[in-house]
Amino acid sequence: PATTHAGYLSGLNDEQRDAVESTEGPVLVLAGAGTGKTRVLTSRIAHILATKRAHPSQILAVTFTNKAAREMKHRIGHMVGQEVEGMPWLGTFHSIGVKMLRRHAELVGLRSNFTILDTDDQIRLIKQLLQAEQLDDKRWPAKMFASLMDGWKNKGLTPDQIPQGDARAFAEGRGRKLYQAYQDRLLTLNAADFGDLLMHPINILRNHPDLLAEYHRRFRYILVDEYQDTNIAQYLWLRLLAQRPAGQQPNLCCVGDDDQSIYGWRGAEVDNILRFEKDFPGAKVIRLERNYRSTQHILGAAAHLIAHNEGRLGKTLFTDLVDPEHDKVAVTNAWDSEEEARAIGEEIEQLQRKGHALNDMAILVRASFQMRGFEDRFVTLGLNYRVIGGPRFYERMEIRDALAYFRVTVQPADDLAFERIVNTPKRGLGDVAIKLLHEYARAKNIPLLAAAGELIEGEEFKPRPRAALAEIVHNFRRWGEMVTHMRHTDLAETILEESGYTAMWQNDRSAEAPGRLDNLKELIRSMDDYDSLPGFLEHIALVMDTEQNESMDAVSIMTLHSAKGLEFETVFLPGWEEGLFPHQRSLDEGGRSGLEEERRLAYVGLTRGKKRVKIWFVSNRRIHGLWQSTIPSRFLEELPEAHVEVAEASSSYGGYGASRWDQDAFSTSSYQTPGWKRAQAAAQAGGYPGGRDGRISYGENGVSGSNPRDNAARRADKYINR
């Protein structure tokens, strides 16, 4: 065809071009980060459209996020030279699943206008079912059952398909019955939960060969990005659509990188990629080896690190970006996370002064609680930032709840805050009770909490809600009195404990619960920087007021997980300490495979950087209210000397920062003998290691008198592979 010189082909290397032009038959592109896998997919679609092999509606293309789908569509339009009209089947597995399910809802007993349940609705429903079965919610929590069901649905298992052992795992063998009851109930409600969005389509396609054949005719080309992170349900759904009757091969192109499989904890199966050639005999496998994204230093560091994993397919990667001007990957040590945020903030400002756009910089964290320090610091500096892939720290549900408690404590007339937490955790206050409260407050023109105070004296409420309200009223009175004579961080902790809020998350077995508890701890920790509860709340009000919009120049903050597929000129990777990264939970739960997944996450982080990657680790973190010396991440030891430099904290951190470095006089020995006791003493004295006010001094075992910055460098130095 007369397309050989089409613009979208001209920049591609031979292998990429092969992948783009091999439109017929199954193709697997197996290649490392930044080799142009996503670009190949995009060009391939453009090629299919430009050569009129298919209409936009005949292409099924799966991306990992909705944002990636929008971007891909935009680029295709650009390549083809015109706005692509509709690509109705370009999206994430879930968005395509919903679309398919709405078309055939009646086949599973739903109507096409079914609602999609959120987690809260789902839990409420499960609770009802557990109650009907007279199961104790303490022993068999609803959240636990929710995550069990989620696991089944990710494997595409309907109630009659779950294995015996699994069925017995919940409530002495009642798992299957409950699952069935739950599915029945959803149908009555004309609702589907998240897992159903793929499980239903799988069953529809399995049970209706005529429909399946229709989809086979419709989808002339199928493309999948990030194939290494598909779970079983996604794989089954895809295989149904792709595998054709004997003798026919699908035009299927999957691209992926086994080294970037980071969703194993959510049921993703890297084996899917290994099985490709078996599922589609005669498949063409294309390897891309040239990386277009990163400098040689970044690539060298990433390759050396990931080589420590055992279960790998193994790949070669090279880059032409060998300009000697390029920075090595920098590793810097900071005293604590505050200092880390301050130093990174300064580096960002320096880069900005040299003309670098904030849009080209990202901070990638392992755990969401780490975002707090950066957000606070950037608000102080007036530096624009945006959080990608989730809410900003102070907008998270658990943080808003906690803040609502603090607001009512300080300001009992804050009705909005009161409403938010009056029945969180659940206290048995139903809609009727809340309505009554509102009516009374309005009639007397007083705040809700005051209304509650009056109502508990009367007979309007039934005993249970009255007792619940009485407890709230008395609690807030007590906490209100404590504001003046209790340390505000202690008070905050007390409030969350006495209200049952902390316990609510402790008893929660969902996957997000531990992260939420970490966030709450981080919230309390951050209050230390303010003198009082009201002072802290005022700061929050200011932080919340900063705007975030798509078009402004801003630093991106996100978790490593949500950075997949993205790239930035400069990438900051803070918090490389044992227990945080690799994360303790994945070590505890996953053994070696957990560690290897963490290492892949580190590989993903490093390979997001185009020009500059800056890794940080801190010496001290406060865990459970106590300062603890940290151990630098083992991943630091796994970096190659040739591509890494131990950076010294820049001199401009001066002043206050420098004085603390001097005071702590920390020595090379201080990390070998974990400074547990000293950290503990510091916490008990209410101070800060290194003593903000100079009250506490360290280094009694340390070598004092040496230049602390050199020590910092030496200390980091030790952790780099030589």
In the list ligand ATP, Mg ion, none, the entry touching 12 (Cβ below 5 to 8 angstroms by class) is ligand ATP
Active-site residue flag, 225: yes
Cα(70)–Cα(347) distance, integer angstroms: 32
The contacts of residue 25 (CB under 8 Å, 6+ apart) are 249, 250, 251, 282, 283, 284
Active-site residue flag, 143: no
Given 16, 38, 42, 628, the catalytic residue: 38
Enter the tokens of residue 366. Answer: 């392992």
In the list ligand ATP, Mg ion, none, the entry touching 345 (Cβ below 5 to 8 angstroms by class) is none
Residues of span 184-213 touching Mg ion by CB under 5 A: none
Q: How far is the CB of 41 from ligand ATP (least distance, A)?
A: 8
Is 65 a residue that touches Mg ion (CB under 5 A)?
A: no
- Reply yes or no: is the peptide bond before residue 689 cis, omega within 30 of 0: no
Cα(448)–Cα(438) distance, integer angstroms: 7
Given 15, 16, 37, 372, the catalytic residue: 37
The contacts of residue 436 (CB under 8 Å, 6+ apart) are 455, 460, 461
Q: How far is the CB of 17 from ligand ATP (least distance, A)?
A: 9
Is 316 a residue that touches ligand ATP (CB under 6 A)?
A: no
Binding ligand ATP by CB under 6 A: which of 3, 54, 109, 292? 292
Is 313 a residue that touches ligand ATP (CB under 6 A)?
A: no
Taking CA atoms, 676 is separated from 12, 679, 680, in Å, by: 55, 5, 6
The contacts of residue 512 (CB under 8 Å, 6+ apart) are none
Active-site residue flag, 260: yes
> Which residue do the tokens 């960002």 mark?
348
Residues of span 22-41 touching Mg ion by CB under 5 A: 37-38
Q: How far is the CB of 68 from ligand ATP (least distance, A)?
A: 9
Binding ligand ATP by CB under 6 A: which of 8, 9, 28, 36? 36
Given 260, 489, 570, 628, the catalytic residue: 260
Binding ligand ATP by CB under 6 A: which of 9, 28, 38, 276? 38
Pick 565 or 675: Cβ nearer Mg ion? 565
Is 519 a residue that touches Mg ion (CB under 5 A)?
A: no
Enter the tokens of residue 114. Answer: 């079914």
DSSP code string of 211-223: HHHHHHHH-SEEE
Q: How far is CA 390 from the centre of its chain?
A: 7
35 is in an annotated binding site: yes
Active-site residue flag, 38: yes
Residues of span 551-590 touching ligand ATP by CB under 6 A: 565, 567
433 is in an annotated binding site: no
Binding ligand ATP by CB under 6 A: which of 19, 20, 30, 35? 35
34 is in an annotated binding site: yes
CB 456 within 8 A of CB 473: yes
Active-site residue flag, 278: no
Residue nearest to Mg ion (CB): 38
In the list ligand ATP, Mg ion, none, the entry touching 512 (Cβ below 5 to 8 angstroms by class) is none
Is 373 a residue that touches ligand ATP (CB under 6 A)?
A: no
Enter the tokens of residue 648. Answer: 């010294």
In the list ligand ATP, Mg ion, none, the entry touching 415 (Cβ below 5 to 8 angstroms by class) is none
Q: Residue 627 in 3-state DSSP?
A: strand
Enter the tokens of residue 74. Answer: 């935009």
The contacts of residue 395 (CB under 8 Å, 6+ apart) are 544
Is 319 a residue that touches ligand ATP (CB under 6 A)?
A: no
Is 39 a residue that touches ligand ATP (CB under 6 A)?
A: yes
702 is in an annotated binding site: no
CB 650 within 8 A of CB 348: no
Q: How far is the CB of 255 from ligand ATP (least distance, A)?
A: 7
Given 193, 226, 338, 398, the catalytic residue: 226
CB 427 within 8 A of CB 468: yes
Is 562 a residue that touches Mg ion (CB under 5 A)?
A: no
Residue nearest to ligand ATP (CB): 36
424 is in an annotated binding site: no
Binding ligand ATP by CB under 6 A: which of 34, 141, 195, 582? 34
657 is in an annotated binding site: no
Binding ligand ATP by CB under 6 A: which of 3, 7, 12, 307? 12
DSSP code string of 322-370: --TTSPPEEEEEEEEHHHHHHHHHHHHHHHHHTT--GGGEEEEESSGGG
Is 43 a residue that touches Mg ion (CB under 5 A)?
A: no
CB 306 within 8 A of CB 259: yes
In the list ligand ATP, Mg ion, none, the entry touching 36 (Cβ below 5 to 8 angstroms by class) is ligand ATP
Residues of span 586-625 touching ligand ATP by CB under 6 A: 607
Other beta carbons less than 10 A from residue 52's beta carbon: 9
Active-site residue flag, 137: no
Cα(141)–Cα(219) distance, integer angstroms: 43
Angle at which helices 296-306 and 584-606 cross, to 10°: 150
Q: How far is the CB of 638 from Mg ion (least distance, A)?
A: 24
Is 268 a residue that touches ligand ATP (CB under 6 A)?
A: no
Angle at 303 between CA 301 and CA 306, to 5 degrees: 105
Given 608, 610, 612, 621, the catalytic residue: 608
Residue 357 φ then ψ, to 5°: -80, 145
How many CA within 13 A on the CB side of residue 29? 30
Pick 228 or 670: Cβ nearer ligand ATP? 228
Cα(530)–Cα(488) distance, integer angstroms: 9
Cα(337)–Cα(627) distance, integer angstroms: 12
* Side chain identity at residue 40, one-letter code: V
Pick 215 or 292: Cβ nearer ligand ATP? 292
Is 16 a residue that touches ligand ATP (CB under 6 A)?
A: yes
Cα(707)–Cα(254) distance, integer angstroms: 54
Is 565 a residue that touches Mg ion (CB under 5 A)?
A: yes
In the list Mg ion, ligand ATP, none, the entry touching 33 (Cβ below 5 to 8 angstroms by class) is ligand ATP
The contacts of residue 81 (CB under 8 Å, 6+ apart) are 7
- Reply yes or no: is the peptide bond before residue 582 cis, omega within 30 of 0: yes
31 is in an annotated binding site: yes
Candidates 5-13, 100-108, 141-149, 589-597; binding stretch for ligand ATP (CB under 6 A): 5-13
Other beta carbons less than 10 A from residue 189's beta carbon: 14
Candidates 9-17, 49-57, 155-163, 229-237; binding stretch for ligand ATP (CB under 6 A): 9-17
Taking CA atoms, 436 is separated from 148, 153, 432, in Å, by: 38, 41, 6
Is 321 a residue that touches ligand ATP (CB under 6 A)?
A: no
Given 225, 339, 577, 717, the catalytic residue: 225
CB 578 within 8 A of CB 631: yes
32 is in an annotated binding site: yes
In the list ligand ATP, Mg ion, none, the entry touching 264 (Cβ below 5 to 8 angstroms by class) is none
Interaction site with ligand ATP (CB under 6 A): 11-13, 16, 31, 33-39, 257, 260, 292-293, 565, 567, 607
- Binding residues for ATP are 31-38
Catalytic residues: 37-38, 225-226, 260, 608
Interaction site with Mg ion (CB under 5 A): 37-38, 565
